[in-house]
C-alpha cells in the first residue's frame, strides 16, 4: 500500500497531455511545485557548449569535489530541464556526499534520436577531461535518463573510453516498442501512460528503429558494464522495462542489484522530500554510490 504522502502525490497529478507544448507545460507545472530544501545549492555550468545549455552543478555542504554523480533527467526525451530535479539531486548529494552535474541534453522533436545519447556521452567526456577520475563518477538517471545511463555506458565501452564507476537507472525506459506486460492504463500511475509514452517515442525516434540498442537497451550488448543498481516502482506503467533489463543484465554477467517498491509510481525516487518511499530509495542509492567510488 502506498504511503499517504505517495497517494497525495498521485492524487495531485492530472492527466498527461499528448501534444509537445502540453507535455512540456505539464512537466514544468508538476516539478515546479516541488520545494527545494534551503541547504541545496546550484549554479549553471556551460560545458563549453555541450548539450542544451541548461546544465547545472548541484550540491550540499560536505559534498566532495572529486566525486561526482552525473544526472540525466527524465521526460521521454521530449520534456524536462535539469532544474526540475534540483531537490532530488540535492537530496542525493546530501546523502552520498557527492557533487552533482545535472546534465541538460537537447530534446526531441527538435533534436531527435540519437542526439540525446551523443550529447550525454560528450558531457561525460567533458567531465573526465576536466580532471575528474572516471573511477569517481557515477551515472544516475530516471526514465529516459535511466535509459541514457545504459546507452552512455554501452557507447563508452564500444569506443574504448573510460567507464564510470557505477550506474543508477531509476525506472529506466528500455523498450521503445512499448511491449512490456505492464504497459497498461490500469496501473494508476499518473506520471506515465501508454499514450504519452508512445507519443514521446514517436517524436524521439523520428522514424528510426525502436530496436536500436541506443534507443532500447533491451536489444543492446550488455556485457562488460560497470556495477548497476536499479530502482523501480511496481505501480509504474514501465515496470516491466526494469524487470526485463535486470534479467538481461544478470544474464550478461554484470554486477547488479535491484529494488522493487510496491505501490510506488514511475521515477518515484525523484519525489525527494515528499514521500518516505523516495527517502528510502535515496538512502539505498547513496549507500551503493559510496561503495563504488574509488578513494
Q: Report how far residue 102's alpha carbon sits from residue 88's, in angstroms, rounded to the nearest whole number.
A: 11
The helix/strand/coil state of 213 is coil
Phi-psi region of 129 (alpha: psi -120 to 50; beta: other; left: phi over 0): alpha
Residue-level pLDDT, tens digit, the chain, 295 residues: 778 888 777 777 767 788 999 999 988 888 888 889 999 999 999 999 999 999 999 999 999 999 999 999 999 999 999 999 999 999 999 999 999 999 999 999 999 999 999 999 999 999 999 999 999 999 999 999 999 999 999 999 999 999 999 999 999 999 999 998 877 666 677 778 888 899 999 999 999 999 999 999 999 999 999 999 999 999 999 999 999 999 999 999 999 999 999 989 899 999 898 899 999 999 999 999 999 996 6
Residue position matching grid coordinates 545504459 = 150
User: Is beta strand 56-59 parallel, antiparallel or unpaired with respect to 98-103?
Assistant: antiparallel
**Number of other residues whose CB lies within 10 A of the CB of residue 190:** 18
| DSSP label of 266 | T
Q: Report how far residue 83's alpha carbon sits from residue 56's, in angstroms, rounded to the nearest whole number.
A: 8
The helix/strand/coil state of 96 is helix
- Cβ proximity of 182 and 236 under 8 Å: yes
CA-CA-CA-CA dihedral for 11, 17, 18, 22, to nearest 10: -150
List C-alpha distances in Å: 272 to 28, 45, 155, 190, 281. 17, 23, 30, 17, 9
Q: Report how far residue 286's alpha carbon sits from residue 161's, in angstroms, rounded to the nearest whole number.
A: 25
Q: Which residues contact 269 (CB under 8 A, 6 or more apart)?
A: 88, 142, 170, 231, 277, 278, 281, 282, 285
Order of strands across the sheet with 41-44? Answer: 41-44, 56-59, 98-103, 64-72, 137-142, 166-170, 228-233, 256-261
Closest of 153, 191, 204 to residue 269, by C-alpha: 191
Q: Which residues pair with 44 in a beta bridge?
A: 56
What is the reported pTM?
0.96
- Domains of the chain, CATH where assigned: 4-292 (3.40.50.1820)
Amino acid at each position: 500500500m502506498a504511503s499517504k504522502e505517495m497517494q497525495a502525490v498521485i492524487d495531485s497529478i492530472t492527466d498527461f497531455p499528448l501534444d509537445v507544448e502540453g507535455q512540456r507545460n505539464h512537466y514544468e507545472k508538476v516539478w515546479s511545485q516541488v520545494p527545494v530544501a534551503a541547504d541545496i545549492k546550484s549554479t549553471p555550468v556551460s560545458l563549453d557548449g555541450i548539450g542544451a545549455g541548461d546544465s547545472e552543478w548541484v550540491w550540499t555542504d560536505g559534498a566532495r569535489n572529486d566525486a561526482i554523480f552525473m544526472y540525466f533527467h527524465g521526460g521521454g526525451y521530449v520534456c524536462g530541464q535539469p532544474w526540475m530535479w534540483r531537490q532530488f539531486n540535492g537530496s542525493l548529494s546530501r546523502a552520498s556526499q557527492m557533487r552533482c552535474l545535472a546534465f541538460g541534453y537537447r530534446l526531441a522533436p527538435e533534436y531527435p534520436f540519437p542526439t540525446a545519447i551523443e550529447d550525454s556521452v560528450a558531457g561525460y567526456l567533458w567531465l573526465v577531461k576536466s580532471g575528474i577520475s572516471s573511477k569517481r563518477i557515477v551515472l544516475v538517471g530516471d526514465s529516459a535518463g535511466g535509459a541514457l545511463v545504459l546507452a552512455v555506458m554501452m557507447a563508452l565501452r564500444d569506443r574504448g573510453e573510460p567507464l564510470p564507476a557505477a550506474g543508477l537507472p531509476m525506472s529506466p525506459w528500455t523498450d521503445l516498442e512499448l511491449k512490456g506486460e505492464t504497459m497498461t492504463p490500469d496501473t494508476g500511475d499518473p506520471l506515465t501512460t501508454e499514450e504519452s509514452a508512445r507519443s514521446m517515442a514517436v517524436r524521439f525516434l523520428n522514424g528510426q528503429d525502436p530496436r536500436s540498442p541506443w534507443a532500447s537497451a533491451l536489444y543492446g550488448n550488455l556485457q562488460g558494464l560497470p556495477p548497476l543498481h536499479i530502482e523501480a516502482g511496481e505501480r509504474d506503467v514501465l515496470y516491466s522495462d526494469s524487470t526485463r533489463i535486470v534479467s538481461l543484465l544478470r544474464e550478461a554477467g554484470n554486477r547488479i542489484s535491484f529494488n522493487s517498491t510496491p505501490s510506488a509510481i514511475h521515477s518515484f525516487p525523484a519525489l525527494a522530500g515528499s514521500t518516505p518511499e523516495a527517502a528510502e530509495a535515496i538512502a539505498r542509492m547513496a549507500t551503493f554510490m559510496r561503495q563504488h567510488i574509488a578513494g
